[in-house]
Amino acid sequence: MKKILLILFIFTFCTQVIVAQKETTVLTLKNSNDGPTISKHIYGHFAEHLGKCIYGGFFVGEKSSIPNTKGVRNDIITALKELKIPNLRWPGGCFADTYHWKDGIGPKEDRPSIVNRWWGGTTEDNSFGTHDFLNLCEVLGTEPYLASNVGSGTVQELEQWVQYVNHDSGSPMSELRKKNDREKPWGVTFWGVGNEMWGCGGNMTPEYYANLYKQYATFMTDWSNNDKLFRIASGANVADYHWTEVLMRDIPKSLIEGVALHSYSFVKWEKKGSSTKFNEEQYFATMQTALKMEELVTKHSDIMDKYDPENKVALIVDEWGGWYDVEEGTNPGFLYQQNTMRDAMIAGTTLNIFNNHSKRVKMANLAQTVNVLQAVILTENEKMLLTPTYHVMKMYTVHHDAQLLPMTINSPSYTHNGEKLPALSASASKDKNGLIHISLVNIDSKKDHKIEIDMQELGIKNVTGTILASPKLQDHNTFDNPSKIKPAVFKGFETKKGKLEITIPAFTVVVLETK
Where along the chain do its domains lie? 23-34+405-514, 40-400
Rounded distance between C-alpha atoms, residue 31 and residue 434, angstroms: 10
Give me the mean pLDDT over the 197-205 stretch: 97
What is the CATH number assigned to the segment(s) 40-400?
3.20.20.80
- The verdict on whether 513 is a catalytic residue reads no
Backbone torsions φ then ψ of 300, nearest 5 degrees? -65, -35
User: Which listed residue (48, 124, 143, 196) is catalytic?
Assistant: 196
pLDDT tens, residue by residue, 233-255: 999 999 999 999 999 999 999 99
Confidence class of residue 20 from pLDDT cuts 50, 70 and 90? very low
Among the listed residues 474, 264, 289, 261, the one whose alpha carbon sits nearest the alpha carbon of residue 367: 264
Q: Are 130 and 180 in contact (CB under 8 A)?
A: no
Give Dmax (Cα) for the chain: 101
Region of residue 206 (phi > 0: left; psi between -120 and 50: alpha; otherwise: beta) = alpha
Q: Which of 319, 380, 382, 452 is catalytic?
A: 319
pLDDT digits (tens, 9 = 90+) for 466-508: 999 999 999 999 999 999 999 999 999 998 888 899 999 999 9
Query: Given strand 463-468, what is the order of strands in its sheet?
Result: 403-404, 424-430, 436-442, 508-514, 463-468, 488-489
- Going by the DSSP 8-state scheme, the letter that residue 55 receives in this structure is B
Quick one: DSSP state of residue 111?
A: P
Q: What is the pLDDT of residue 11?
A: 45
At position 382, the amino acid (one-letter code) is E
What architecture is domain 23-34+405-514?
Sandwich (2.60)
Alpha-carbon torsion angle 4, 10, 12, 18, nearest 10: -150
DSSP-derived secondary structure for 167-228: --SSSHHHHHHHHTT--S-----EEEE-S-TTTTTT---HHHHHHHHHHHHHHHS-TT-TT-
* Confidence at residue 225, expressed as pLDDT on a 0 to 100 scale: 52
Is residue 207 part of the annotated active site? The answer reads: no
Question: Could you tell me where the beta strands, DSSP code E, fall in 460-498?
Answer: 463-468, 488-489, 493-496
